[in-house]
Structure 1
Amino acid sequence: MLNRVILIGRLTKDPELRYTPAGVAVTTMVLAVDRPFMNQSKEKEADFIPIVTWRQLAETCANYLRKGRLAAVEGRMQVRHYDNNEGRRVYVTEVIADNVRFLESPNTSGGSGNTGGSQHSTGNQGNHDPFQDHGKPIDISDDDLPF
């Protein structure tokens, strides 16, 4: 038997990090995944899929994912139920993620925040080559040399 889910979509809000009474991290988030067709009004529709991550992955997602960010989620589908305050049985379908990939760098327009990958700030240098001095000597002290 096989229960495997792979999704790519955008977060609808920032992930919510909580801890169980035993101290285990759990993060919940919702991923908006576009449907591959348009409705009768020629508009795209999306499915809003609840995602749950646990332990270190939960903390990583909470720290680095933000609303609007594009992410790939791999995991398994789970259906659970509980009885609400009115005594009615409520069913919940969610994806338990065991792998989440951040598909955008924090500098793209899809969202804000940081991906957990290394970031190198270049300020407002743009594409300026710091080693381009038009043949002028470079002033480097002996202390700056790695050998």
Structure 2
Amino acid sequence: MADINNVLSRLDRVKRTGEGKWLAPCPAHNDKSPSLAIKEADNGNILIHCFAGCSVHEIVESINLTLADLMPDNPTFKKGSKPPKFNKYELFDRVLFESLILYLAIRQIFNNKPLSNEDLQRVKKAMEVIFDIKREVSR
């Protein structure tokens, strides 16, 4: 379940940079200055990005969360419903985020580490979201 306050409360020196946007030192590496961007997306997802290169998996693991904690229980972008109109930057951010989920899963598989059932479900959701976006853009 996505709860921005749960994520922010686990970080140090969080600074609000705009509506639904924050910066903080990345907890996954010895960060001296803020390199972690946090964004609450319109659909309820929590997007995180470390400009130093830490993976989303490393970041959530370092604050004792899972990738599922970044996703809402009832996303507004449901299969079979018409998604809201997004601008190209929001679409790109979402595809990039879902691609990152797939990359992390592939990296774990290549490292001979099994995926949990929760991770497998999230990979499936990532693929569905990417194909839903492709279908919407192709209209």
Q: Quick check: which one's strand share is greater?
A: 1
TM over 0.5: no
Q: TM-score range by the shorter chain?
A: under 0.3
Task: Identify which of structures 1 and 2 has the higher relative contact order when contacts are C-alpha pairs closer than 8 Å and 6+ apart.
Answer: 1
* TM-score, normalised via structure 2 length: 0.21
Q: Which one has a bigger Cα radius of gyration?
A: 1
Q: Quick check: which one's helix share is greater?
A: 2
